[in-house]
Amino acid sequence: MPYFRAMARKLQADFYQRTDVVQIARDLLGKHLVTEIDGKKTVGRITETEAYCGAVDKACHAHLNKRTKRTEIMFGPGGSAYVYLCYGIHHLFNVVTNRLNAADAVLIRAVEPISGVEHMLARREMEELKKNVTAGPGSMSKAMGITTDLYGESLWGKIIWIEEAPLLHHSVIHATTRIGVDYAEEDALLPWRFYDKNSQFVSRR
């Protein structure tokens, strides 16, 4: 490994297995999401996340500890990928957090392209780099090559991982309500969506 190129550390179990999913959602902002799929490596800086808190959150698929084949991975220990298909078209990528039997997850909603931009554009069938290439959970997953094939994949393996990066200052993190969870009644009002105020690559303002 060339000594002159700093090798960013992959986030490990101790990061994902903390018990406060909202804190993890904040901490993930600014980190680098990396995928290496079909020999194509793409890196994106995470700019937007949402926290989903297992049993007590009406917006979470695992609300009241509803255990199904789909939600099963969220009950495992933190550090694996929860990917599912939404509206029959979009693959949404989540990071499983917390300990065994605490079904929390963080939805990654947007990234800012860092490298492998040509692969992202090819996957999105686009010509130039605009924010909608990777802003929005379905778009981001498509650009990064994330599909339900990655369901249950370890986040410190060789296909997908997240690299350490300095925490963002709290003053540039904006907290607001989550998107598309109107059905969750009072839990739809929780300020559990976070984004980097300084980034253009955010799905909505």
Partner DNA sequence: GTTATGATTTACT
Partner DNA sequence: GTAAATCATAACG
Closest separation in Å from C-beta 181 to DNA: 5
Q: Of 42 and 203, which CB lies nearer to DNA in the complex structure?
A: 203
Closest separation in Å from C-beta 132 to DNA: 5
Extended beta strands in the chain, E state: 32-37, 40-53, 81-86, 90-97, 104-115, 160-163, 173-176, 193-196
Q: Of 124 and 165, which CB lies nearer to DNA in the complex structure?
A: 124
Closest separation in Å from C-beta 2 to DNA: 36
Q: Of 33 and 59, which CB lies nearer to DNA in the complex structure?
A: 59
Q: Of 42 and 139, which CB lies nearer to DNA in the complex structure?
A: 139
Residue with tokens 């179990």: 13
d(CA 188, CA 105): 16
Q: Which alpha helices (DSSP H) does the chain contain, by range?
A: 13-16, 21-28, 117-124, 137-144
d(CA 37, CA 199): 26
Interface with DNA (CB under 7 A): 50, 52, 59-61, 66, 68-71, 82, 84-90, 92, 94, 105, 107, 124, 132, 136-140, 148, 179-181, 183, 203
Closest separation in Å from C-beta 183 to DNA: 5
Closest separation in Å from C-beta 70 to DNA: 3
Q: Of 46 and 167, which CB lies nearer to DNA in the complex structure?
A: 46
d(CA 91, CA 2): 36
Instruction: Decide if 14 contacts 8 (C-beta within 8 A).
Output: no
